[in-house]
Structure 1
Amino acid sequence: MRPLELYLHIPFCVQKCKYCDFLSAPAPAGERREYVESLCRQIRKYHELAKAYHVVSIFIGGGTPSLLESCQMERIAEAVRETFVLEEDVEFTIEANPGTLTMEKLETYRKLGVNRLSLGLQSADNDELKRLGRIHTYEDFLESFRLARQAGFGNINVDLMSGIPGQTLTGFEHTLKTVAELGPEHISAYGLIIEEGTPFYEMYGEKGRERAQHAGELPDEETERKMYHRTREILEGYGFLRYEISNYAKPGFSCRHNLGYWDRTEYLGIGTGAASLIGHERWNQGEEKITLSMQDEMEEYMFLGLRKMEGVSRRRFRVLFGCEMETVYGQVLENMQKKNLLECAGDFVRLTEFGIDVSNYVMSEFLL
């Protein structure tokens, strides 16, 4: 039986955040009930495929999965356990937003085997949260964090964001230190990306209709660069290790589900818009399957694997593709090392500190 990661998408939220381009939207209770029933039927349809796999991680994301009632989450977990063989130590994560959690929900999650909680904070500054369109305050987050600990969660991730409109370097440093002092096991720290189709795109995007009136609200490029570097410096001071470009964990608490994505472990996404990679085929729910060529898979191995601080393994490349990494990428590797963007560490090729700063450029060089 091969390892499989399972992703379940819950496309509902209380309100759409101004920066969000994820597949999510508010919906009435009846629509949420119908979706859960449909999701459970979809899960059970994979009973034949499931025979070839054992599930090593489950991630229920969204949207805001914690919007669902406890009984709805129970039905989803029941469908999963009836259909798939789960590893005894399966990592089981649920995303949750402050303001939607109760002790009753948290106790249900624990009963269902959920052992990792991901809380979407973004900022410890209430003004910044308002600018993002978040439904909660920092005080709401503190209460959710306290309840999660009380319910027995010993593996909690907190999502943070830099580059928020009106955010200063000092303000971001305060958020990092404030959250780190709470002692979560994992922190994901992402820079704000202005996505087309969002309210923020109209306000800050290159072709946004309101751009002129919001000029100067976003931190400039140099401030964003400093925020990125201070993230590592501050979190490492609190005992967090950066194991991926935007992810930090206490020893032993790296997110196994995310590592599986970057290592190209097979994964099955179920629910509206969820993505899957099974064998050599990739697809989004409701769309046609795409068969990946060896070239596609080599590219993905390199630009996904280079997100990890350990980098990509030459030995594994040889096992997967039957040739040496240098045979395919020799010139690129040589050029990137000359520019001090990549370095070799035994079997691994990884980004340098300078390479991390321009990682998008480095990874684009591995497209064949």
Structure 2
Amino acid sequence: MEKKKELGLYIHIPFCERKCYYCDFLSAAADRGTKAAYVDALIKEINSYRYLKEDYRISTIFIGGGTPSTLMDGELVRIMEAVKDVFQIEDRFLSDEKTVNGLPKEDFIEATIEVNPGTVSREKLLRLKAAGLNRISMGLQSADNKDLKLLGRIHTYETFLDTYKAAREAGFQNINIDLMSALPWQSLQDWMEVLEKVISLRPEHISAYSLIIEEGTPFYEKYSEVSFDDELDRAMYWSTAERLKAAGYGHYEISNYAFENRECRHNIAYWIRKNYLGVGLGAASLIENKRFHKEEDLKKYLQQAGSTDSLSIDTELLDRKQQMEEFMFLGLRLMRGISTKEFQELFGSNIESVYRIPIEQSVREGLLSEENGQLFLTAKGIDLSNTVMARFLL
């Protein structure tokens, strides 16, 4: 029997209690009736993909947003039950133990849900755990209450601590904490104090991103003309990497750090161009080199959710050139870089024959290095990663 291909599943919940001042994601506050209607439509869409179980098996699940935890626990359980029904996921594969019945960890499904502090109780988390979710990604952003207020977050650091404790008590052994540095008013010392508080909690995974001020957000109106201190941003970045390394975290992607075997498998699939299916408002997919995303208008989504074809927009079949470009600029986000052997196997061409000029230029400038068949960004290359990656657009 032919082994089924792995498929990552992303489920988008576009609701939040209140839009944060820096956020440009596809999300907004909504009333209870809208949320209930969305869950019904989402389950209809999930059911429309029942045919995929013939060729694919789910390897990771990620419920993101917005703030998925603003849904009622019963709604989230319904979503997970629909996924398990449509894709025939056995409960024994939804485990965060390293082995179960002798099977290696990679055979188990990593099932993540994004949670904002203050939006879940211990009881709600217990129900989510029982439904098969085994990883929490918690949006803290800062451990300083002044920062949280200026960012427009709805929680305090104390609220976060209560939620983190509740997640541990509910049995979650794999928790990520999202942090945001390079805030307009933030010093290096301010940031390192935040980082130390989070390290002391020993989460399995930490995502540490520099703030990007996006057009159309309240932050853009307030800070777009403020001069950006690139040196301070880089000092924060490398101080973070050094401190987390000392604390036992592996630096596996430009902005992500994890204990051994706790890297986010779902996100790695994005960076190495594995198949993934996005369901829900505006969710993106890549299946066999076909990229598409879902309808972004909520009213239209609710009307058309049972029809997969009508929901998919901007469908693009990637040609060989586009696939090679993505292989390079996505794969270079990983600290291990890209495999020259894998490039050859995938595209039937030696990487030097396609990218000799940008590789030689970047190596000469100290931006790229190559060891044991892996091509990866140097420290200098990470600081100039956008420049390097742009060179691999054919």
TM-score range, shorter chain: over 0.9
Q: CA deviation at 1:52?
A: 1.0
**C-alpha offsets along residues 27-68 of structure 1, whole Å, 9 cap, x if unaligned?**
001100000000000000001123210000000000000011
Separation of aligned partners in 2, 1:165 and 1:352 = 27
- Do structure 1's residue 246 and structure 2's residue 258 form an aligned pair? no
User: Do 1:6 and 1:57's aligned partners in 2 also have CA atoms closer than 8 Å?
Assistant: yes
Cα offset for 1:326?
A: 0.7
Q: Deviations over 1:171-217 (max 9, x none)?
A: 10001111011100000000000111111111122xxxxx4xxx47x
**Separation in 1 of the partners of 2:197 and 2:336?**
28
SS for the counterpart of 1:315 is helix
Is 1:278 the counterpart of 2:287? The answer is yes
The DSSP-based 3-state class of the residue aligned with 2:110 is: strand
Over residues 230-257 of structure 1, what are the superposed CA-to-partner deviations in whole Å (9 max), with x where a residue is unaligned? 1101111111110000000011110100
1:337 counterpart residue number: 363
> What secondary structure is seen at the aligned counterpart in 1 of 2:314?
coil
**Among 9, 15, 20, which residue is 1:17 paired with?**
20
- For 1:360, the equivalent position in structure 2 comes to 386
Alpha-carbon shift at residue 86 of structure 1 (Å)? 3.4
Q: Which residues in structure 2 correspond to 1:32-43 (within 5 Å)? A: 32-43=35-46
Corresponding residue for 1:208? none
Q: 2:197 aligns with which of 165, 170, 178?
A: 178
1:151 aligns with 2:170: yes
Deviations 1:219-277 (A, max 9, x none): 62211111111110111111111000000001111010011110100000000000000
- Corresponding residue number in structure 1 for 2:323: 297
What is the distance in 2 between the residues matched to 1:335 and 1:7?
37
Is residue 325 from structure 1 mapped to residue 319 from structure 2 by the alignment?
Answer: no
- For residue 343 of structure 1, report the CA deviation from its aligned partner: 0.5
Q: Deviations over 1:124-147 (max 9, x none)?
A: 100001110000000011001100
Q: 1:288: Cα distance to partner? A: 3.0
**TM-score normalised according to structure 1 size:** 0.96
Q: Are 2:332 and 1:306 equivalent residues in the alignment?
A: yes
- Choose the corresponding residue for 1:105, options 115, 121, 124: 124
Distance 2:286 2:124 in 1: 31
Give secondary structure in 2 for the equivalent of 1:160: strand
Moved more, 227-236 or 3-12: 227-236
After superposing the two structures, state which structure 1 stretch, 78-87 or 130-139, moved more.
78-87
User: Percent sequence identity over matched residues?
Assistant: 51
| Conserved? CA contact 1:128–1:165, under 8 Å | no
Equivalent position SS for 1:195: coil
Supply the distance in 2 between the matched residues of 1:304 and 1:271 (Cα, whole angstroms): 24
Moved runs in structure 1, 4+ residues, more than 6 A? none
**Count of equivalent residues:** 358
What are the ranges of 5 or more consecutive residues in structure 1 without an aligned counterpart?
206-210
- Runs of 5+ in structure 2 lacking a partner? 94-107, 296-312
Of 354, 373, 384 in structure 2, the residue corresponding to residue 347 of structure 1 is: 373
Mean Cα deviation higher: 296-305 or 47-56:
47-56
Alignment partner of 1:92 is 2:92: no
1:30 is aligned with what amino acid? G
Is the aligned partner of 1:267 residue 2:273? Answer: no
**How far apart are 1:122 and its partner, in Å?**
0.4
- Distance in 2, Cα, partners of 1:224 & 1:348: 28
1:56, 1:280 → 2: CA distance?
Answer: 18
2:137 is matched with which residue: 110, 115, 118? 118
User: Structure 1 residue 187 and structure 2 residue 213: aligned?
Assistant: no
Q: Separation in 1 of the partners of 2:88 and 2:341?
A: 30
Of residues 19, 28, 33, the one that matches 1:30 is 33
- The residue identity in structure 1 corresponding to 2:386 is N
2: distance between equivalents of 1:94 and 1:345? 36
CA distance in 1, matches of 2:378, 2:184: 30
- Report the AA paired with residue 39 of structure 1: L
Decide which of 225, 229, 234 is 2:238's aligned counterpart.
229
State the Cα deviation string for residues 254-307 of structure 1 (Å, max 9, x = none).
010011110100000000000000112101103131111111110000000000
Partner SS, residue 288 of structure 1: strand
The amino acid of 1:188's aligned partner reads S
8 Å Cα contact 1:306-1:350 kept in structure 2: yes
Aligned: 1:51 with 2:77:
no
Residue aligned with 1:289, SS: strand
The residue aligned with 1:81 is 84
Q: CA RMSD in A?
A: 1.0
Inter-partner Cα distance in structure 1 for 2:209 and 2:15: 22
- Give yes or no for contact 1:53–1:85 (8 Å, CA) kept in 2: no
Contact 1:129 1:136 survives alignment (8 Å): yes
TM-score by length of 2: 0.89
The aligned counterpart of 2:97 is: none
